[in-house]
Each structure stands twice: as C-alpha cells, then as structure tokens.
Copies of this chain bind each other. A is one copy, B any other.
Amino acid sequence: MVLTEKQKELIERFGVLNEKYGLPPAECRVWGLFLVADKVELTFEEIMETLHLSKGGTSTALNRLMMTNHVEYITKLGDKKRYFRCKLNNWTSMTKENFEKFDELNSILKEILEARDPKTHVFNKDLKQVTEFLDFIYKELMIAIEKWENKK
C-alpha cells in the first residue's frame, strides 16, 4: 500500500499525540494507519510493509490494539489471512473507561485525605475540595455520555 505525504504526516502526528499517553510508537502508527488508509480492511503483511515494521512488532501492536478494543479482525472462508480493521463504534465506552482511570486518581486522593493528620486542616479542606470537584466532573461526564447515547 502506498501512502500520500499527507497520510504519512497524519499518521505521525496522530502517533506523537498518542505516545504522550504512553502508547509505543509502533502501536500508534498501526492505529493511525487504520484511520488514514484508503481501505478499511488491512492484512498483517500490508501493515508490516507499509509501516516498515518487523513481524514481531506488527504482531504485538495488533494484539495490543485488539486487547484495548481499537482493532478487530474478520476472516474469510477458504482464506487463512486475517483482515484487520479499526473499531469506531466503541468510542463512548472507551471514553468512559478513560475517565474511569481519572476517577481512580480521585479514589486515591480520598484515601489520602482519610489518612491525613487532622492538624493540617487548611490543606485537608483544600484537598477535600479537590476530591469534590473531581467527583462532580466525573458525574457530569457520565451524564453527558448518557445524554449522547440517548440522543442517537
């Protein structure tokens, strides 16, 4: 598969952004490839060759993307190859999961608050405010997602 310069650029930019969130470069590029490619179903070989990745690298990237639900594959009768494709219909649940991690931070903060020396009451009060703020935002988010789901 031959990519245009624009497609290559988008893959890299998409990659760099996602690397900031802890994804390995190769995985970002595979994901990006799915997003910019002119076709929806890509084979293992195509991905490997288009991105100049090794077999192992391609395998790990695809498997991780499948584990995180960004990619799936279909098979075709009488054809051993897998046809990989990007899942787009799960962004609401992905977003939810993302913010659940955010909520985990809040849980720890609450536990910290619980364990704090009561003597530092100004600090404790401020920390309480933070956890209340995070609680509030989290709830509003969940409401927003629900709103969206009902709208459709």
Residues of A within 8 A of B (CB): 6-7, 10, 13-14, 17-18, 20-22, 35-36, 38-40, 86, 88-89, 91-92, 95, 101, 104-105, 108-109, 111-112, 115-117, 119-120, 122-123, 126-127, 129-130, 133-134, 136-137, 140-141, 143-145, 147-148
Contacts and interface: CB of A to CB of B under 8 A. Distances in A.
Contact of A92 (B120, B127, B133, B143): B133
Given A108-B14, A140-B141, A40 B133 contact: no
A130 B117 CA distance: 46
B39 A115 contact: no
B38 A115 contact: no
Contacts of A127: 35, 88
Contacts of A145: 137
A68 to B, nearest CB: 14
Nearest to A144: B140
* Residue from A119, A136, A144 whose CB has the most chain B CB atoms within 10 Å: A144
A108 B112 CA distance: 37
A136 to B, nearest CB: 6
A35 B109 contact: yes
B129 A88 contact: yes
